Chains A and B, each alone.
Chain A
Amino acid sequence: MPQSRSERIAGVFIYIILSFITLLVLYPLFFVLIASISAPETVMRGEVWLWPKELSFVGYERLFANSELMRGFLNTLLYTTTGTALNVLMTIAAAYPLSRADFNGRGIFTAIIVFTMFFSGGMIPNYLLVKELGMLDTIWAIIIPSAVSVWNIIIMRTFFQSSIPKEMQEAAFIDGASNMRVLLRIVLPLSGPILAVMVLFYAVGHWNSYFSALIYLSDRANYPMQLFLREILVQGQMQEMVDISDDSLARSLMDAEAIKYAAVIVTNLPMLLLYPFLQKYFVKGVMIGAIKG
């Protein structure tokens, strides 16, 4: 069908607006990248804005020379891997029974779980609980209180209900398979996409989280990367990294800026590298969640 004149104009208009929005989102990310590999003084003078000027890696050098930050990086890796493993196991353990029509009491169990989305005890009772359980300043305080997300349980349950043929499960039961066997041999092997989505969502959550560490951890040796990042980016505390004693004040101020840009890039590097491969999965994940369960 031929398009009318007004429709063609509208189409062009939409392309322009969308291009503008895309640019607006992309540019700050791009700027951080080029600023991180430019000489700090050129960034300060406002000369960097389309291309890096006078290549310099001083920010990265200072960053990698800092042993605390490297330990934070390792802590984050530990919290992310163990936390995600626990999250995924718990999500499956919740979602599979709830997906089964012959699971007695599933209405009540669902209600118990979903209610927690809308009402909570709040920060203080949670803190006191974690304290009472003796988990303060341990890895448990980071991974156990957030062992599973209700939203993800619902997404996964919906996937099990809508994408795994009931007949296959029934056939397996007739052959004498147990519930566990059906889950492990039939349901999970067919759930690749949703498992990938869950791993991605949970892992990003752990990678980026700082708040539970902020309240529950006091020993700096246990700090995740994001807490050090907060010191660098938000509070501007970098005494260790920019040594004022042997630099001029102006020099260290500039290096401090370079460290900030480098820090943003380094923390997000894994995500930046994985992003193109993961995109098709996470869109699928949100779509599955969009089908109301």
Chain B
Amino acid sequence: MQVRRNWQLYALFAPVLLYFIVFHYVPMYGVQIAFKDFIANKGIMDSPWVGFKHFERFFDSFYFWRIIKNTMGIGLYELAVGFPIPIILALMINEARSGRFRRFVQTVTYAPHFLSTVVVVGMIMMFLSPVSGLVNSIITSFGGEPIAFMTEPSWFKSIYVWSGVWQGMGWSSIIYLAALAGIDPQLHEAAKVDGAGWLRRIWHINLPGIAPTMTILLILNIGSVLGVGFEKIFLMQNSLNMEASDVIATNVYRSGILGAQYSFSAAVGLFNSIVNFIMLITVNRIARKVSENSLW
């Protein structure tokens, strides 16, 4: 009997299973407070049901459209810029023939990935400061007016997205480089013999070669469009750029953890999770139909 013979494997796995049940499935069960009026001393179970009251309040709230617009806007902007750039970078690194130069480019572009969000946001604020920042001293030395980047709502999304590109493009390119390394060099030789130029070979060999990887990562990225990096937005946010920076997650944090409106924020959070999940499933289904590559 396999189960009995492998009891040690089950013993090993038990704490892991327990962890997932307690710290992932219990909170999913706890999500029911979104449909209740949570009363602390009654607990999640015994608090009274109120149906969709908190959802209605969220949909009717003054900030609803602002939050949705910001969340979608930042997510889509990030997808449009942050998805193709690592691919282009990987294709270029792959073409660079000198091994030493390649390694140097890679070493440098991976490095910012290891900086903490706090440090990156701190650096953004130092560089963009209107009084002492490097960017503004360059602008003024060319005779321009200093720009208050961090307090100007119209700059928020671009700063968020492009600093993300700065921090992440190298790291995200690794996976494409791995895929490119797996392409049979004979294909390239054959294409060269047939007279295919540089661009044609990238278009007809390299891109199809990494297409499965691209599909998988695109699905994962689209599935998290609404799950935009809360930690960074939260740090970049201030009362003056709120108009452009308030997203679902920061709203949940403010009303839930700071304002102790547990049920209301749980409803907002649940709305977010469900939309993400639906998007993931939809994109996955489309990908499976169109390209035969999918997550499952």
Q: Is the CB of B9 within 8 A of A121?
A: no
Q: Is the CB of A121 within 8 A of B108?
A: no
* The stretch of B56-64, B67-75, B110-118 that contacts the partner chain: B110-118
Q: In whole angstroms, what is the CA distance A95 to B273 when docked?
A: 27
Cβ contact of B269, chosen from A10, A112, A122, A257, cutoff 8 A: A122
| Interface range on chain A (Cβ under 8 Å from partner) | 35 or more
Q: Is the CB of A102 within 8 A of B174?
A: no
Interface 1/0s, chain A 260-281, versus B by CB < 8 A? 1101100110010001100100
Q: Is the CB of A97 within 8 A of B31?
A: no
Q: Is the CB of B19 within 8 A of A148?
A: yes
Query: With A103-B6, A127-B256, A129-B27 in contact, do A112 and B20 touch (Cβ < 8 Å)?
Result: yes
* The stretch of A28-36, A59-67, A163-171, A189-197 that contacts the partner chain: A28-36
Q: In whole angstroms, what is the CA distance A260 to B44 when docked?
A: 44
B252 close to A (CB within 8 Å): yes
> Which residues of the partner chain A approach B198 to less than 8 Å between Cβ atoms?
6-7, 10
Q: Is the CB of B110 within 8 A of A21?
A: no
Q: Is the CB of A15 within 8 A of B111?
A: no
Q: Is the CB of A123 within 8 A of B252?
A: yes
Shortest beta-carbon distance from A113 to chain B in Å? 6
Chain B interface mostly helix, strand, loop or mixed? Answer: helix
State which residues 71-119 of B face A: CB under 8 Å: 89, 92-93, 95-97, 101, 104-112, 114-119
> Which residues of the partner chain A approach B115 to less than 8 Å between Cβ atoms?
208, 268
B148 close to A (CB within 8 Å): no
- Chain B residue nearest to A207 (CB atoms) is B116
Interface 1/0s, chain A 204-230, versus B by CB < 8 A? 100111110001000000000010011
Shortest beta-carbon distance from A91 to chain B in Å? 9
- Chain B residue nearest to A115 (CB atoms) is B24
Interface 1/0s, chain B 193-234, versus A by CB < 8 A? 000011100000000000001001000000100000011000
> Which residues of the partner chain A approach B266 to less than 8 Å between Cβ atoms?
122, 124-125
B290 close to A (CB within 8 Å): no
Q: Is the CB of B265 within 8 A of A123?
A: yes
Q: In whole angstroms, what is the CA distance A31 to B126 when docked?
A: 11
Interface 1/0s, chain A 109-148, versus B by CB < 8 A? 1001100101111111111110010000000000011011
Q: Is the CB of B109 within 8 A of A25?
A: yes
Q: In whole angstroms, what is the CA distance A201 to B4 when docked?
A: 35
B187 close to A (CB within 8 Å): no
B240 close to A (CB within 8 Å): no
A50 close to B (CB within 8 Å): no
**Which residues of B pack against A, CB within 8 Å?**
2-3, 6, 8-10, 12-13, 15-17, 19-20, 22-31, 33, 43-44, 89, 92-93, 95-97, 101, 104-112, 114-119, 121-123, 125-127, 132, 134, 137, 141, 166, 170-171, 174-175, 178-179, 192, 197-199, 213, 216, 223, 230-231, 235, 249, 252-253, 256-257, 262, 265-266, 269-270, 272-273, 276-277, 280
11 pairs across A/B with beta carbons < 8 Å? A4-B197, A49-B134, A119-B277, A121-B31, A125-B26, A129-B26, A145-B23, A179-B6, A229-B118, A233-B119, A289-B175
